[in-house]
Amino acid sequence: MNKEDLLKTPRGRAIIKLGLYLVFFVIVAFLFHAGSDTSNTKPDVPKKSALEVYSDMTNYEYTYLYNDTLMNGKVYRDSLYFEINEDAYYVNKNVYKVNKETNEIEPIELDKLYYIDNHMISNYIKKGNIIGKNEDYMNNVISITYGIDTEDEKLNVTTYEKDELIFKVVLNIDTNTIEINYSNVGKVSNFIKDFKVKE
């Protein structure tokens, strides 16, 4: 029986229609199955650890307690601005004292302990070893202490994290203690444009 004979008989037409319907439904089923696989599949994005998120922070506010000196500051990208007592400072590769009335800045020398940022601390932590870990289940806070031996001194860094974010760091450098509390991560506006170099 050839193709023309199939089209002439009712049985032949029914077989051809059934075949076409079968091909149509196989194609529809294949497309539906292929489409559902891509919509339900989520890409495997590795989740960052609290330390990785901390290391990548470039926009935040902080309070900084160094022995008995309290500082308030903010970071925007590679720039720091902080106040100690009545004095204000701006750091961007160099250290500047800021005249708060005119926003003029002039270069000065300042002890590096006053402007340790999260990138420096992260680098210290990467060189160290975990020497202690505590979990406060009531407040859902994890603290991890790292011991770091440098050429000049013994350094311990304790990080406090909640909800997979580091919100506080305590550094013990020989007899000095520095406590840094972080807030408003990602919410600091650009303050760099406000400063002008003193002439």
pLDDT for res 131: 92
pLDDT in tens, 69-123: 899 999 998 888 888 888 888 888 888 898 888 888 888 888 776 778 888 899 8
Cβ count near 22 (within 10 Å): 10
d(CA 76, CA 188): 7
Coarse DSSP helix, strand, coil percentages of the chain, rounded to the nearest 5 percent: 30, 40, 30
Are the CB atoms for 55 and 119 separated by under 8 Å?
yes
pLDDT for res 146: 93
Give the number of C-alpha atoms closer than 13 A to the C-alpha of residue 16, restricted to the C-beta side: 12
Sheet holding 129-136, edge to edge: 129-136, 141-149, 154-162, 165-173, 176-183, 59-66, 69-76, 79-84, 87-92, 94-98, 104-107, 196-197
- In this predicted structure, the answer to whether residue 38 has a pLDDT above a threshold of 60 is no
pLDDT for res 119: 87
Residues counted in the chain: 199
